[in-house]
A and B are shown apart, each in its own frame.
Chain A
Amino acid sequence: MASNTIAGTGEKQQTLLGADELILNMGPQHPSTHGVLRVKLKLDGERVIGSECLIGYLHRGVEKIAENRTYQQFAPYVDRMDYVAAVSNGLGYCEAVEKLLMVEAPPRARVIRTILTELQRIASHLLWLGTHALDIGALTPLFYCFREREEILKIFEKYCGARLTTHAFRIGGLQYEAHDTLEKDVERFCKAFEPRIKDYEDLLTQNRIWLGRTKGVGILQAADAIALGATGPVLRASGVKWDIRKAMPYAAYDQYKFEIPVGATGDTYDRYMVRMEEMRQSRLICLQAIENIPAGPIMAKVGKVLKPPPGEVYHSIEAPKGELGYYVISDGTVQPYRVRIRPPSFVNLQSFDHMVKGHLVADVVAIIGTLDIVLGEVDR
């Protein structure tokens, strides 16, 4: 048996047939890497014995840009990190700066923020479901998912004029009053959406190929998930019932009833089930929220020039992909002294190596998909 040392670990690895291990480069242009992720796989035949993620192809220096912009000028930049869930990014940033300023958005703004953010969660999960299923070989769900996602993007467009990089919220509240048909649009979407989740489940949940490709693939135990810092659906699928919306409520989440779905084994199938259930719960939150949107102002009293008193704050929200944290330091000037963004995708991607070991090359694609990463956020 030939033995090789895995770089960095010094660990000896034995290959089955005594062949030399094969290094396979995947990406950065591989379609299943969902962007520009490059993975170096160490293979023993078809089996993965080690991996290394090479990232940074989309690095734009977002944190450096933040230090050279005013607080408001930086707000649109955060939409360009997780560009499939721009609304959630904006919510996290606005709330972090509001905490720094010690102001609170008015109740009406908070409810509208909650509605849009939950719609964004559904849209983000739909995009994940469509592309993840496509990667594994199920072509149909993609078209269904994009059909529903389109409805959500239309609501965003009606609300603020943009579909993807929305910049929907402002520090202190909202810039735009809700359009007249917001409640009706959201209600119509939610009504139509329920049977459609069932359609996706009919296509996949009991599908033998789907089960074969996802059950037992990329298992992440709860203890490992915590140690590796995984959050969001990845952590919950491992059985840890932790959701920042419940643990440390922000926006208007404390007013609504919803469940936190958890998995048991932490495999790819569990992560699929958790995200499916999260879409249902988000739909319920939206329905509760549109029932009673409080009247009143949509903007707190904040100056045109924001100069938060010196100090620092860490604020995180439950973004569709996990814990999205903003650590903002003010030195009392109009520009932040430092903005640190804790991206869920970056941290979750670190679990990849742990999950992929021992699996086949074809499973690598399933595992990249199940982590639901967006490279714009990994690289910032």
Chain B
Amino acid sequence: MADEPKEQQPSGVPAGDKPAGSSAPTSTPPAKAPAAAPPAAAPPKPAAPPPPKPPVQLQTPLNNELVGRVRAKFAAALLEAIEDRKQAILTVECGRLAEVAQYLRDEEKFDLLSDLTAVDWPRREKRFDVVLNLYSFAKNERLRVKARAGDGEQVPSVAGVWPTANWLEREAFDMFGIIFAGHPNLTRILLPDEWQGYPLRKDYDIIEQDTSWVKENLGIESGQ
């Protein structure tokens, strides 16, 4: 119970709250300024919501039958099973993601991959979370599966399990630079192929862009 949020906090809050927050405003004064101003200007108002916060434990360990079966099958490869706001989240070892995915689809009937995406936690040792949102028609249930991956680490592709992962993994590669091993065609999908940089990484600034690409292809100094 107590160690779960801790897992979340050192990875989540220090990464997101302070450093990412402090790195962003330096370069984005217009975006941050109005956001930062209200809480300072109107402290009496938010006084109402905070009180319920501390006592509520939002991330609690999850121990249902599904978790039991996954643990029995994959043992130590299941790193964590928690519940956040009644949504089940499993964290598995990155190297065995495709295996777990295959099992969840075939044995647990999670036949629809709703979404596959990634999250960047730059202060963490393994900075990326690859996040799969699964749905089971048979059980009418959702399940989130996460795998932590370091920069440059190869994540097994699940495109062989759910073909829909093809474009979704390409998007994650495009935006975060995560390499999916075994992907049939891992190229950029939304940005131009020659683009340098991965925009959804936390260290990529909001007004940052590949200026040389913009200059070369659009003939202007800046897209801004």
Contact = CB atoms under 8 A, between A and B. Distances in A.
Interface of A: 8-9, 55-56, 59, 61, 63-65, 67-70, 73, 99-100, 102, 226-229, 231, 240, 242, 247-248, 301-305, 307, 309-314, 316, 323, 325, 327, 329, 331-335, 337-338, 340, 342, 346-347, 350, 379-380
Contact of A63 (B9, B87, B168, B200): B200
A112 B56 CA distance: 31
Give me the 10 closest cross-chain CB pairs, A-B, nearest first: A229-B164, A331-B16, A56-B190, A342-B115, A8-B185, A337-B16, A68-B31, A340-B117, A59-B190, A303-B46
Contact of B13 (A64, A229, A310): A310
Contact of A68 (B9, B28, B140): B28
Contacts of B50: 307
B85 A313 contact: yes
B12 A64 contact: no
Nearest to A378: B190
Interface in B16-74: 16-17, 20-21, 24, 28, 31-32, 34-36, 38-39, 42, 45-46, 48-50, 53, 56, 58-59
A65 B20 CA distance: 14
A67 B89 CA distance: 22
Nearest to B39: A305
Contacts of A311: 8, 58-59, 84-85
B12 A331 contact: yes
B163 A70 contact: no
Given A68-B206, A228-B163, A314-B142, A307 B49 contact: yes
Given A55-B189, A229-B164, A240-B137, A333 B17 contact: yes
Interface of B: 8-9, 12-13, 15-17, 20-21, 24, 28, 31-32, 34-36, 38-39, 42, 45-46, 48-50, 53, 56, 58-59, 84-85, 87, 89, 111-115, 117, 119-120, 131, 133, 137, 140, 142, 144, 162-164, 166-168, 175, 184-185, 188-192, 199-200, 204, 206
A313 B12 CA distance: 14
Contacts of B204: 64
B16 A313 contact: no
20 contacts: A65-B206, A73-B35, A231-B112, A231-B114, A242-B137, A247-B140, A303-B45, A303-B46, A304-B42, A305-B42, A305-B45, A307-B46, A309-B53, A310-B13, A310-B58, A311-B59, A312-B89, A329-B119, A331-B16, A347-B168
Contacts of A247: 140
Contact of A332 (B13, B15, B28): B13
A304 B191 contact: no
Contacts of A231: 112, 114
A227 B112 CA distance: 7
Nearest to A244: B135
A323 B45 CA distance: 36
A8 B9 CA distance: 42
Contact of A227 (B84, B163, B188): B163
Contact of A229 (B36, B137, B162, B199): B162
A304 B16 contact: no
A327 B184 contact: no
Given A240-B137, A311-B84, A331-B13, A226 B111 contact: yes
A304 B34 CA distance: 13
Nearest to A9: B184
Contacts of B12: 310, 329, 331, 337
Contacts of A379: 190
Given A226-B137, A310-B58, A334-B39, 13 more contacts: A56-B188, A64-B206, A69-B31, A227-B162, A229-B114, A301-B48, A304-B42, A309-B56, A313-B85, A327-B115, A331-B17, A340-B119, A340-B131
Contacts of B114: 229, 231, 314, 316, 323, 325, 342
A304 B35 CA distance: 11
